[in-house]
Amino acid sequence: MTRNSLMAFSAAAAAVLFATALPVSTPALADSTTVARKCANAVCGSTKYYGGRVRISVSSKLSRTTHFNFKTNPGDQIELGVNSAGRGGYSFDREPGDGGTYSVQACDRGGIGARSTCSRWATFDWSSGAQESEDEQ
């Protein structure tokens, strides 16, 4: 190997070593937040935030649940259906850094002319992650 080719090889090897020694940056997970599953009054709720949407999942510990009464606070009460896994869901758009609560009842629909039987209201938190703040100098 000639002196010039040896120097070129050494420079290339040093560049490779330097490049592999640099830390690899990964995108921050600030745009993804999970509020762990919690249960109260026979109703469970959890929240995931990603892609600019808050996604709420609710389930019941009751032996029979036909639907959920649901409301964000403040907000209108709506009825959520139950999927084959016994869960209901609701989602909405939100900017990072917001938070609030939602309330849920698990219900068993009554027969013709009968009212539904529902659990007590359970209230849970939702979050769209921490708002990143700039330090003032």
In order of their start, the domains of the chain are 33-127 (2.60.40.10)
pLDDT at site 119: 97
Q: What percent of the chain has pLDDT over 70?
A: 72
**Is 104 within 8 Å of 60 (Cβ atoms)?**
no
At residue 12, does pLDDT exceed 80? no
DSSP codes, the chain: --HHHHHHHHHHHHHHHHHHHSPPP---STT-EEEEEEEETTEEEEEEEETTEEEEEEEE-SS---EEEEEEESS--EEEE--TTSEEEEEEE--TT-EEEEEEEEEE---TTPPPEEPPPEEEEEE--PPP-PPP-
Entry pTM? 0.70
Among 74, 133, 81, residue whose Cα is nearest residue 103: 74
- State residue 80's pLDDT score: 96
